[in-house]
Copies of this chain bind each other. A is one copy, B any other.
């Protein structure tokens, strides 16, 4: 499940170091799910509600929590998802703090 949305009483207390990355998605599986309807990759950009995101629904039903991305951005708990794009589980916004090679530092 997406760490932000895991069921209560689940494993949200797991330390961050134990978190796996959310399911792969998109062309050549080069993306990662950022939410049930969001798939992003450094080389891909982001897909919202497209056929590329269908697989990301599955993550909701997995029992262990996952995180997507690392570098925090925006004001809503998002992380840098692709060059210039910051995503949370609810959407994506252009964000210059996600530009450049610092992306996945």
Contact = CB atoms under 8 A, between A and B. Distances in A.
B45 A48 contact: yes
**Number of contact residues on A: which range applies?**
20 to 34
A85 B38 CA distance: 11
Interface stretch (A9-17, A49-57, A60-68): A49-57
A91 B92 contact: yes
A72 B55 CA distance: 29
A94 interface: yes
B47 A50 contact: yes
> Binding site of A, secondary structure by majority: helix, strand, loop or mixed?
strand
Name the residue in A49, A51, A92 with the highest tally of chain B Cβ atoms < 10 Å from its Cβ: A49
30 contacts: A37-B45, A37-B84, A37-B94, A44-B50, A45-B47, A45-B48, A45-B50, A45-B51, A45-B53, A46-B47, A46-B48, A46-B49, A46-B50, A47-B47, A48-B48, A48-B82, A48-B85, A48-B94, A49-B82, A49-B84, A49-B85, A85-B91, A90-B93, A90-B94, A91-B91, A91-B92, A91-B94, A92-B92, A92-B93, A93-B93
